[in-house]
Structure 1
Amino acid sequence: MSFSDSGSYSNGGDHKSFRQITRERLLYEMLMPEKNGTPMKVLVLDNFTLKIISSAAKMSEISQQGVSLVELITRRRQPMTSFDAIFFIQPTESNVNAFLSDMTGKSPLYKKAFVFFSSPVSRSLVTLIRKDMRAMKRISALKEMNLEYISMDIQGFVTNNENALEDLYSDEENHQRADECLNVVAKRIATVLASLKEYPFVRYRGAKALDASTMTTYRELIPTKLAAGVWNCLARYKQTIEDFPQTETCELLILDRSIDQIAPLIHEWTYDAMCHDLLKMEGNKYTYEVPSNSGGDPEMREVILDEEDPIWVELRDVHIADASERLHEKMTNFVSKNKAAQLKHSSK
C-alpha cells in the first residue's frame, strides 16, 4: 500500500455533480439503445440495484432509453421472447443462477441478454456462466459496471450497509463478520471512485498502542483494514478499467468516530435534519394530508425533497431558525403576487 505525502488533483474539465455522473453512467453507458441493439428492452434488477438506479434516475428517463418494463430478478416473470433484457445485478451466486435460469431451457424469457454487474465478478461466477453454453449463445454483453452505491444528493452517497455499526462495534466481537462487512464497504467506496475516475492517495488513521504491552484491538484497526480493502480494489481497477488514472489524482481520508467524539452528542439543527426528525419521511419522500374539495376524507399527497425542488436545495443546509424566516418571506411574497392566494387568505 502506498501512502505518499505529496498529492495532485484531477485535471477537472466540465463540472458535473456526483448524482449527474451516476445518472449518466446508468442511462448512457448501460441503457443507451444504440449500444444494446433493439429500441425496446426489459430492465432486470435485484433489490439493491433497484435502489441504486432509483436514487439516480427517474422512470421517465429510463423509459426514454428504450426500456419498456422494469422487473425484479427474484420474482417470477412472464416470457418476453421478442425483447432483449438488460440485467443490472450484484455478482452473487443466487443472482447468477437466476440469470442462467432465465436464459436457458426450451423457452428462455428473453431474446438476448446484456449483463452488467454492479461490482467485480469472482472467477468462480465467471466460470459458472461460461460453462452454460446455452446461456452464452444469448449473452450479447457481459460487463462490470462498478457502480454499487446509492447517491443521496448532488454530493453525497451511502453504501447502504445497515448493519455496519453492529458488525464492527458490537460488544461481542465477531471478526469474520466484521471483515465481511469491511470488504463490502471497501468495495462500494471503490466503485464510487471508479465512477468518478479518481485514483486517490489513501490516507487513514493508524492504530496507536499506549505502550508496548498494550494490545491493539480490532476496533482500532478498522480504518487500517478499510483503507487496505479500498486500495486493493483500486489496484485492480488500474488494470481493468479503461482510462482509469495510473497515478494518484486526489486524496481519500479514512477516519473513525474517535477523531470527533463530540459530533454524536450535538444535535443537527439544519432544515434537512429537522425534516427527517419531525416528519414521517421515507427516504426523501414526504406524505401529507390535504382537505378534500368535496368535503370527504382528506386526500394524501406526496412530495419528493431532492435537487428538483429549488427551495429544498436552497434551505436544506440552513439552520432551522434562518430557514423559517426565509420561508416566511417567500410565502409573504407569494401571497402578495398571487391573486388566488390572496382570495384564499382573505376568506380566512
Structure 2
Amino acid sequence: MLNFNVPPVKNSTGEPVWKVLIYDRFGQDIISPLLSVKELRDMGITLHLLLHSDRDAIPDVPAVYFVMPTEENIDRMCQDLRNQLYESYYLNFISAISRSKLEDIANAAIGANAVTQVAKVFDQYLNFITLEDDMFVLCNQNKELVSYRAINQPDITDTEMETIMDTIVDSLFCFFVTLGAIPIIRCSRGTAAEMVAVKLDKKLRENLRDARNSLFTGDTLGAGQFSFQRPLLVLVDRNIDLATPLHHTWTYQALVHDVL
C-alpha cells in the first residue's frame, strides 16, 4: 500500500518515491503497532497526517490515503480533490467502499478536473488491529459500541444489535481475506456468537459464489478452499467460562487437589 500497491523491488538501492500518508483514527490505530516513524521514512513517507486535521497544500507530492469509507471521510477526501492539495491520490479503504460512495468520489474528481490525479483506488480489507504475529483485535474507535456491555444491555434494540454484529463480522471477514483462507466455523448456540457465525458464513458464501470477483481465489487462497489446512474459527460468548477449562486440567488428580 505504501509503495502505491506495487510489490517492492528486492535489493533496490535507489531512493523511494517521497509521499504523504493521510489516515483517519482507524488507520492510525492499524499502522501504529506495525510501523515506526523510521520505517515509514524508509518507505518514503515524509509526512503522516490525520485526514481531518488542517493540512497545507503540497501540489508536487503524491498522497496515499488510508481511511474507513465513512460519509465524513468521503466528504473530506472530495474536499481535498477540489482544493488540489496533492499531485496525485492513491485511495486505500480499510473496508470495502460502496458503489454510491465511489460515485461521490468520481463526481468530485470530475467537478475538480482531477480525474487523472486519482491514480488508484483499493479496498485493503484491513479492518483489524494486529498487536502481535498471532494476535489481533477488532478495530473500532468507539470501544463502547462493540463491547460485552453493549451486546448485553437489556434495552438494546434489534437495529443496534444488527449494527454491532455487522461491525464484528466485517472485521472477521477482513482478517480472513488478508489471511487468504476460508475458516471452519464453530460456535456456541443460542448466543451472540451464533449470530456472528451465521452472518460471517453467509458473507463468505456470497463471496465464493461470485467466482469472478471472489477474494478467495488465485494466489490468496494457497492450497485452495477445499484444503485440509483450513483454519478453525471458534466463536464463544463471554458468558461462558473459558478460564477454568483452559487453566484447570479435567482429571481426578486436579479435582482431588481442589478438594484437599
TM-score norm. by structure 2 comes to: 0.77
- Could you tell me which of 49, 52, 56 is aligned with 1:71? 49
Cα deviation, 1:267-295, whole Å, max 9, x if unaligned, reads: 9xxxxxxxxxxxxxxxxxxxxxxxxxxxx
- Partner Cα separation in structure 1 for residue 206 and residue 82 of structure 2: 32
- Partner Cα separation in structure 2 for residue 33 and residue 262 of structure 1: 43
**1:159 matched to 2:138:** yes
- Partner Cα separation in structure 1 for residue 123 and residue 63 of structure 2: 16
Q: Which residue of 1 aligns with 2:219?
A: 243
1:247 CA drift (Å) = 1.6
- Could you tell me which of 113, 124, 135 is aligned with 2:89? 113
1:33 CA drift (Å) = 7.2
- Counting aligned pairs with the same residue, the percent is 21
Cα deviation, 1:51-104, whole Å, max 9, x if unaligned, reads: 100011111111111111001101110000000000001011111111111012
**1:145 matched to 2:115:** no
Code of the aligned partner of 1:68: T
- Could you tell me which of 180, 200, 222 is aligned with 1:197? 180
Cα deviation, 1:283-311, whole Å, max 9, x if unaligned, reads: xxxxxxxxxxxxxxxxxxxxxxxxxxxxx
Q: Which has the higher helix share?
A: 1
| Equivalent pair of 2:139/2:171 in contact (CA under 8 Å) | no
Code of the aligned partner of 2:241: Q
Partner of 1:68, secondary structure, is strand
Q: Higher Cα Rg: structure 1 or 2?
A: 1
**Residues 236 and 138 of structure 1, relative CA distance in 2, 3 Å threshold:** farther
- Partner Cα separation in structure 2 for residue 263 and residue 201 of structure 1: 23
RMSD: 2.5
Tell me, which stretches of 5 or more residues in structure 1 are unaligned? 1-25, 208-219, 268-348
| Equivalent pair of 1:87/1:114 in contact (CA under 8 Å) | yes
- Could you tell me which of 218, 225, 229 is aligned with 2:195? 225
Code of the aligned partner of 2:102: V
Q: Which residue of 2 aligns with 1:83?
A: 61
1:29 CA drift (Å) = 7.2
- Partner Cα separation in structure 1 for residue 74 and residue 177 of structure 2: 23
- Partner Cα separation in structure 1 for residue 55 and residue 2 of structure 2: 24
- Could you tell me which of 76, 81, 86 is aligned with 1:98? 76
Partner of 1:69, secondary structure, is strand
1:205 CA drift (Å) = 1.9
Q: Quick check: 226-235 or 143-152, which moved more?
A: 226-235
Partner of 2:58, secondary structure, is coil
**Residues 123 and 129 of structure 1, relative CA distance in 2, 3 Å threshold:** same
**Residues 55 and 183 of structure 1, relative CA distance in 2, 3 Å threshold:** same
**Residues 201 and 127 of structure 1, relative CA distance in 2, 3 Å threshold:** same
Q: Which residue of 2 aligns with 1:54?
A: 32
1:230 CA drift (Å) = 2.1
Code of the aligned partner of 2:103: T
- Partner Cα separation in structure 1 for residue 95 and residue 77 of structure 2: 16
**Residues 89 and 31 of structure 1, relative CA distance in 2, 3 Å threshold:** farther
TM-score norm. by structure 1 comes to: 0.58
Tell me, which stretches of 5 or more residues in structure 2 are unaligned? 10-15, 248-260
For these two proteins, the number of residue pairs brought into alignment is 222
1:173 CA drift (Å) = 2.1
